[in-house]
Amino acid sequence: MLIFPTIQLMDRVCVSLERGDTDRPVVWHVDPVEKAQEFLHAGASWMHVTDFDAIAGSEKNKDLVLKIIRHAKIPVQYGGGVRSALHAEEWIDAGVGRVVVGTLAVLNPDLVKEIAKLHPDQIVIALDIWQGKVMIHGWKEAGPIEPEDFIKAYNRIPLAGIIITDIDANIEDWDSTFEQLTYLAGISSSPIIASGVMRRVSIIEKLSKIPNVEGVIVGTGLYNKTFELEDVLNAI
């Protein structure tokens, strides 16, 4: 299983969001580039970067993301408002290992399928679910498709993976999220990457046993010292 330690950016600093609430970010006072290098030294083989300002249409963090890509020395999976083929290709040309597409994958699947065929194993699509609904535009509105249909629409497309985030997940009541992931992973031809409230090593160990779940994105737990990245890497 791949572990993706994550850097989430807003206003050029590392943040965590509770259920995507950009009005109340938790700010972590760490240098993003140094944090990326910490991931390398801890043994990570990939990392994930999300630019929340780019999702909102701003490029204020672009130079910082490029700096992270240059200095991380491990492949970067990048997500941040990628809503065109040209935009995806620009990030691939800039050196990211994988580009994450969210809203575009819901609203224009034919275009995303063509991008994936042009860049096999470099495009990841994001499936964000809240109360059983697929969410778009930074988790702000429901899309016109059900999670199961979304997964099936991309079967047999050469994606690098599908990130599934249960926005409504509760760390104290994990069973429903676990069941949902198990079902969706079972109908997907692409590997699944789990995201959201991965704040206990025991949860990550359990996820690693789900067939076709081949990756986990971890963030907040690393920053608030719930666990160390080495603990996660050694547990799987």
Structure tokens at 18: 């509770």
Burial class (CB in 10 A: 0-12, 13-18, 19+), 72: buried
**pLDDT tens digits, one per residue of 58-69:** 999 999 999 999
- Run of H or E including 16: strand 13-16
Asked if residue 98 lies in contact with residue 124, where contact means CB atoms within 8 angstroms, the answer is yes
Overall domain count for the chain: 1
CA-based max dimension of the chain: 42
Q: What's the mean pLDDT when you consider all of the chain? A: 91
DSSP output for 160-195: SEEEEEETT-BTTB-HHHHHHHHHHHHH-SSPEEEE
Q: Is the dihedral of CA 135, 114, 92, 186 positive or negative?
A: positive
Residue 172 is predicted with a pLDDT of 57
Q: In Å, what is the CA distance from 30 to each residue of 13, 80, 99, 134? A: 8, 20, 24, 32
Across 40-69, average pLDDT:
95
Q: Please, which pLDDT band fits residue 170 given cuts at 50, 70 and 90?
A: low
Q: Which residue has the tokens 């109340």?
A: 24
The CATH number that applies at residue 161 is 3.20.20.70
User: If DSSP codes are grouped into helix, strand and coil, which group holds residue 26?
Assistant: strand
Arithmetic mean of pLDDT, 160-173: 80
Mean pLDDT of 161-165: 96
Tokens of 113: 């399928």
Give the 3-state secondary structure of residue 18: coil
CB 152 within 8 A of CB 113: no
Give CA–CA dist 167/134, Å, rounded. 10
pLDDT at 142: 79
Domain hosting 217: range is: 2-235
